[in-house]
Structure 1
């Protein structure tokens, strides 16, 4: 049986175990430490009324669009949650960890008006993740276009992903988890799921995608061997794409996503089954990428963003990730292709589902069971 956050009762009990209540790294990455960089800031509640706020994006008029996983796009305007939700969504399969997932605006939204979002759908047999774009006409979505629909549906209730990010060239990256089929999907390039994909904004495939022309591979695949990436962000300085990924019991990861590379799931892992038994003896293998950080025990990483705002001067250039398990944020210092330090801030802020730096310069947090919080100065 799963609870409303998509966890089995056994998994939830394991995550709450005192034996797993501290952070340590198995073999990779700097130790996580308490930080003084939270000083002078607080997380203040913007609005309640959103139970599982998966994705957030801000329109040029300041409206904050928030996806409620059960299948609604809600609007926060001038700090208040509107009663009316946005209509015109496709049929959303609210199923286990599936539902309405991430949402982003096009980098050229002011001129083209495109919104992009991922969701789970029952189209075909079983259920899998799809990517759609649409435009807003008032409070209604119009001109809906399905850009990608993962095939090879699963009846499992877990690991839909999903995050969306644009790179500096305007190409769109999105993640889909392994759909609970670890031995079938992640290592098979002919099957969807357990992958990070790259397409153009109109859904076409870039000519330089790594597996274009390979008849035994999905041409949209950019990287593979993933379990369930639920955080993704672009470093505005280097253009690198980073992702956080849920491991099993232990072995959560921070990965630098690179073209055509295999990230190893489930052949290599720093985690074990939730029961404590082993599913692999390998933590590394030739041809498979090592994580830049692995977290053992798992902290259940969620949203991910790079801080560029002048509102947080000591955080600028750092990467900010949420922990659903430990109810805090992790501030990661990145130097090129390495993570050189990590610090926890805002302990007990709540079960962080999403972390988003909006165009208005503020960092917003989606907190399961609470709603939306904003990080502001205490002064």
Structure 2
């Protein structure tokens, strides 16, 4: 967990896409029959991700003295969460749970751990809220020539007198320089259901995926990436017209939604609309050329193939585009070491250390 005091230039705009009508996009949330899903009302209430049970209340009462200052209460709570002899929570990517389930299982992804922290912090009378961080995609998030938009989330605690602290449970991901913004509890819940929907989609459970994604869009109808996820579900199910609507809606909300742009280009090409596909592909190629993290991903892929020359060319391009990212220097050092170039290995190792130190300040 990281406690610290507390945020990409947009790429080319895609060719004009006709925004779908509101009626047509709303109809996408009433397609249960396509997936043999029960037609549950979107207004049906469910237990919120921040719900607190008696055991959680007891934990706060025992571990966080109420008479302390907000900053001291924050420290007590943070220590109780991570100390192995107390709760001992662990960060585990890909495990999305509610605050109560995370408390019981003591592990989860950034959203799960943040939800647990916020639920307990509010129980300790701390002013805590969700903070969404736009993390650049790295090589771990790219596979099979497909990119993913990663919505990292952490917490901010207001301590009074203009003081605040960021609480983050994945130190290797968060950087205070990344664009970030406060988001509501409902938007965090929308991300929760979107994560569950994507997990169900990966397991080919289209029925549950649809129920989760429609719930996510009910809570966060302006979240472009969730419309993109819904488009992937329709595309996988063979419903291309619905998929095109969902991808178009995502891009109408956010022209920078690169995953939807790539998916729509593939849909156009597979359906014979080659000119439209080509237009989008040109935008995608331009964005990739100007994205240092894309070159970083290419370097990692080349390195895994044993092509050290190409890996070095790609990582040097990434460094030219962003001279402040320590991971680029770090990986360049790894490549030089594999080539047996000890001098360059030490040179880039030092550059990585200096860049990381500069970021920390």
TM-score (norm 1): 0.24
Higher strand proportion (structure 1 or 2):
1
Instruction: Tell which structure's C-alpha radius of gyration is larger.
Output: 2
Higher helix proportion (structure 1 or 2):
2
TM-score (norm 2): 0.25
